[in-house]
Amino acid sequence: MKKLILAGVFAVFANAHFLTFIPSTDNVTSKEESKITLDAMFIHPFEQTGMTMVKPKGIFYEKNKQSLPLTETKVFDHKAWKSSYEIKRPGVYKFYTIPEPYFEPAEGKYISHVPKVIVSSYGLEDGWDEPIGLTYEIIPLTKPFGLYSGNIFQGKVVYNGEPVSNVEVEVELYNQFNLKAPTDAHITQVVKTDDNGVFSFVMNHKGWWGFAALIEEGEKEYKGKKYPIENGALIWVKAY
């Protein structure tokens, strides 16, 4: 996810790009909020800069095979996508985006990240810790739609339903607050999963936080040469 830039004899790492997936709310409490919008964008969340996102394979609701309607939009002057879904009854709703793999020449790999977000409606909270069944997925171990800044968020990284140990999880804040990082190293936080695939992170500021577990597996051809695929299991949660 980090882009390697060579400058003289120095190697400088630009910060992580995330497939950012944010709903208009993570808690539907009234009919006026019931038609939620879902924004999918390929950006640097903390730095608030964008990259072009080609049309994804779809934005999906739970295990439905058919994508919700997609509309092209712009975020930070780059192509992005959005959809909407009308929530008609109490429950826990899970949404995710499947993108087209993106080739990153500076890293010599394809990037294929699948982010999900979980929305509660009208106070019903059952099932937030149940997986959708994605190949690469983060299962929340902390209720994802009732978080304060300062809370610990815990998640479990799974591959084909099995926990994955020692996997790096990159973390960034969607920085709508004009915060300045003391150094570049502070922009993208990194934690690792334990033997049970579990990671923990304290969200020290309100706002949307992205967690990206990175698993390199498979290959895809680009201009006659095969390159590895970086698969990302992502989840976005909001701290209040």
pLDDT, tens digit, 9 for 90 and up, residues 94-140 = 999 999 998 988 889 999 999 999 999 999 999 999 999 999 999 99
Q: Which residues of the chain have pLDDT under 50?
A: 2-14
- Identify any residues that bridge with 171 across adjacent strands, giving them in sequence order: 189, 211
SS3 category, 7: strand
Distance set, CA 112 to CA 39, 142, 214 (Å): 17, 25, 10
Rounded to whole angstroms, the Cα distance separating 72 from 80 reads 6
Give the range of the structural domain holding residue 214, as residue numbers without chain letter.
Answer: 4-239
Q: Give pLDDT, residue 5.
A: 33
Our count of domains for the chain comes to: 1
What pLDDT does residue 7 have? 35
Among 118, 114, 187, smallest CA distance to 157 is for 114
Position 13 scores a pLDDT of 40
Look up the pTM and report it.
0.92
The pLDDT score that the predictor gives to residue 1 is: 58
Radius of gyration of the chain from Cα atoms? 17
Q: CA angle 206-210-213, nearest 5°? A: 145
Six token digits for residue 122:
């009208």
